[in-house]
Amino acid sequence: MPNILIYHFGPEQLTRDRLVRIIDDYFELKEGVENAEEWIQKAESRFEEEREEYARVFQVTGKTLFERVVNYSKPHEVKEHPSLRIYFEYDRNKDFNGLIVKGHGGSSEILLELMEFKPKMDAYLRILGIKYEDRTKLILK
């Protein structure tokens, strides 16, 4: 089982302001994207281009910002933590919506980095006012 930080929350909690802060503070953006606003603009544009496909395959309606951007959210490096990856995830069965942080690789150093990073992310999400269910799985192998 991989070591992973899992923060489950309703899609309505991911307001534009909260999304911008999370992306600007934690996502190491690449591919010519400079900031969160540009990232959101590209995600929403992609959603509009592929709306019918998203509705059919992912059962995503696009009613919430979360639904419009989540399929654009591939794993990014976490700023100042290059061995960690961060992304949003939406489960089409609606069993999960939220934020995931996992290690890139499987060493004990990754586990320690996740363990050190977890309290920071917990506090950060609380400060943003996101009420989440912690589904984290950290196991020393």
DSSP string for residues in 61-84: ---SHHHHHGGG---EEETTEEEE
Candidate ranges 28-32, 49-53, 70-74; pick with highest mean pLDDT: 28-32
**pLDDT bracket for residue 97 (50, 70, 90):** confident
**Structure confidence by residue, pLDDT tens digits, 98-114:** 999 998 776 788 888 99
For residues 42-65, average pLDDT = 78
Domain regions of the chain by residue span: 4-134
Give the whole-angstrom CA distance, residue 49 versus residue 70.
Answer: 15
pTM for this prediction: 0.85
Token pair 């920071």 is found at 120
pLDDT at 56 over 80: no
Alpha-carbon span 138 to 141, nearest angstrom? 10
